[in-house]
Structure 1
Amino acid sequence: MWQGTVALQPGRLIYAGQLGVAHRHRHAAVQLVLAIAEPVRLRDESGTEWQGRAAVIPPGAEHELAGGSAGLMAWIDADGLFGQALTARVRRTRLPVDSVAAWAAAARPLLDDILDGNLDHIPSACQVLGKLADAGPPNETPLHPALRRAVAVLPAMLDHTVHLGQLAAAAGISASRLGHLFADELGLPFRAYVRWARLRRAIDHARHGGTLTDAAHAAGFADSAHLTRVCHEMFGLAPSLLARAVDWHEPVP
């Protein structure tokens, strides 16, 4: 049973708590699995089963998970710098990237952190993610003023198609420059950032009592089926689970 805390940030969704069962699926994000109390079981597309404490699953790889342990689950946007770094770790194993052997080998350097860390605590989980991606400490440099304006304006545009040029005009900068700022300072391409902003808006709406249909429309999805499909594609989980079955960690401004 999934029971824990979720944080949804640009480019990543982090879950800390009791790991549940995820039936055979594949998704667009890079997935990280870290178990604390006891090993979890993973099975790849070939049917090969592995039992262990840590795995990095690349985008598009079919898999299933048997839960039962406490730990961390994270989904990282594959197009962002973080996701690319995680996928590169899997490739550097020189094992077939769709195999559980490669996923386990890619995550092996984190085993000491799993044993010593407090992965049922969201801030600690974020630190572990940074180590795995070779990202070091979070970048504390203030965002470019135009990017800060764009990020502030974007939520008001989510009920319609968001065009980079339109957002750039509102931020007082050229579209090409704004696109580079998204990639360089936020680590995500513009379209990926918008997708994660829509998911956050929809899940926020649903967890505060709105229906999935209302949540989908509020975030610019065509309907609840569209929202559900995107959630499954990104996380392998239903939006109803993310909205109501777990608690949410809200970052301090």
Structure 2
Amino acid sequence: MPEHAATMHKTLATPRLGLLGDSFIYAGPNIQADVCRHSVTLACALSQQPLSIHAAGRCWQGHLLVIRPFLKRTVDTGSAPVALIDLEPSHPRYNTFSCQAPEASVTALDAARFAGLLACVQGFAQQRLSGPQLRAAVCLHVADVADSIGPEVPVSSPVLQMMAAVRMDPASDLGMLSRRVGLPARRASQLFVSALGLTVRQYALAEKIRRAAMFLGSSRPLTDIAQLCGFADSAHLAKVWQRCYGMCPSTFFGGRLAPHNGNLDLAWRQQVSLAGSLANRWESGAAD
């Protein structure tokens, strides 16, 4: 085993998670899981061993893979460490990936071209990169990857308004949102799906998951977190979390991940709330 790989294995004896507001970064010793989640995932190998993604009867391998949302897949890194960057639907470049042609379920990228991204996740895994510097680095490198996939596609004002409303209240339904933007429900739904590649209901569930993740390190009971984030109960939260991340919530919420342990980075605390950002973007667009 190469020296850097051996060091990485030792460093990642326990997982590390960074909360960046509209994205997450996770580094762990290895992953073998069946998952299906709403986020765009950038999967990065942290050793010389490539990753393997199995989905729809196909297998993709590489050191840097981009995975579309809602793709049911099996992730297998063997015994090798891995880092995952998940872009939430609220991320400004989410639709660059989510609105690709259906055949682009998984895209293998040139690891040499995006060596900066791999260095970034290595730095996070080894606890050399954290806080605002981590958030800035991830933002920069994700934008670089997104530009290689396709151009940035602006989101219309009605969709931005609906996104902001759901962020403030995930219980908002399509009827409420369509009235807010002054459009028929069917037209509002079409605009939303066309812009982001997912439905209002899927976006609302993603927001509930994002809210739940913000309680990591809080030591609050799972029942309280489920109630505060709009889930029916803790069993509902556990079911959704297991489907999305392939691990039970206790792995994340059971106290193993905490800032004082050095394996939970709360970079999102330095980030302006997306609701405010969306409102500002909408007001700017309306003024143009």
TM-score (norm 2): 0.61
| Residue of 62, 66, 76 corresponding to 1:64 | 76
| Alignment partner, residue 166 of structure 2 | 154
SS at match of 1:63: strand
Stretches of structure 2 that go unaligned for 5 or more consecutive residues are 1-13, 122-136, 258-263, 278-288
Amino acid at match of 2:191: L
Match in the other structure for 1:126: 142
Aligned equivalents of 1:237, 1:131: Cα separation in 2: 32
Q: What's the CA shift for 1:168?
A: 1.9
Deviations 1:145-196 (A, max 9, x none): x4343333324533x4x42012222343322232233234444322221111
For the 8 Å contact 1:198–1:219, the answer to whether it is kept is yes
> For residue 205 of structure 2, what is the amino acid of its counterpart?
R
Do structure 1's residue 175 and structure 2's residue 185 form an aligned pair? yes
| Cα drift, residue 207 of structure 1 | 4.3
Structure 2 match to 1:98: none
Equivalence map 1:14-93=2 (5 Å): 14-15=24-25, 18-29=27-38, 31-36=41-46, 38-42=48-52, 44=54, 52-56=62-66, 59-66=71-78, 68-69=80-81, 71-74=83-86, 82-83=97-98, 85=100, 88-90=103-105
Distance 1:110 1:85, change over 3 A: farther
Q: Structure 1 residues 189, 82: closer, same or farther in 2, change over 3 A?
A: farther
Assess, with a 3 A threshold, how the Cα gap between structure 1 residues 240 and 155 changes in structure 2: closer, same or farther.
farther
Q: Distance in 2 between matches of 1:75 and 1:209?
A: 25
Residue 184 to residue 87, structure 1, CA distance change in 2 (3 Å): closer
Structure 2 counterparts to residues 226-241 of structure 1, below 5 A: 226-241=236-251
Q: Distance in 1 between matches of 2:49 and 2:144?
A: 18
Aligned residue for 1:6? 19
**2:266 corresponds to which residue?**
248
Tell me, what secondary structure is at the counterpart of 2:36?
A: coil
- Kindly tell me the number of residue pairs found equivalent between the two proteins: 225
Do the aligned partners of residues 167 and 51 (structure 1) sit closer, same or farther apart at CA in structure 2, a change above 3 Å counting?
A: closer
User: Equivalent residue of 2:231, what SS?
Assistant: coil
Distance in structure 1 (CA, Å) of the matches to 2:228 and 2:88: 24
Answer yes or no: is 1:189 the counterpart of 2:213: no
Local SS of the residue matching 1:170: helix
Alignment partners' CA distance in 2, 1:67 and 1:8:
30
Runs of 5+ unmatched residues, structure 1? 91-102
CA change 1:237–1:73 in 2 (3 A) is farther
Compared with structure 1, are the counterparts of its residues 237 and 223 closer, same or farther at alpha carbon in structure 2 (3 Å cutoff)?
same
- Say what the alpha-carbon RMSD is for the aligned residues: 3.7
One-letter amino acid matched to 2:245? F
Length-normalised TM-score, structure 1: 0.68
Q: Cα 1:86–1:68, aligned 2, differ >3 Å: closer, same or farther?
A: farther
2:229 aligned to which of 213, 216, 219: 219
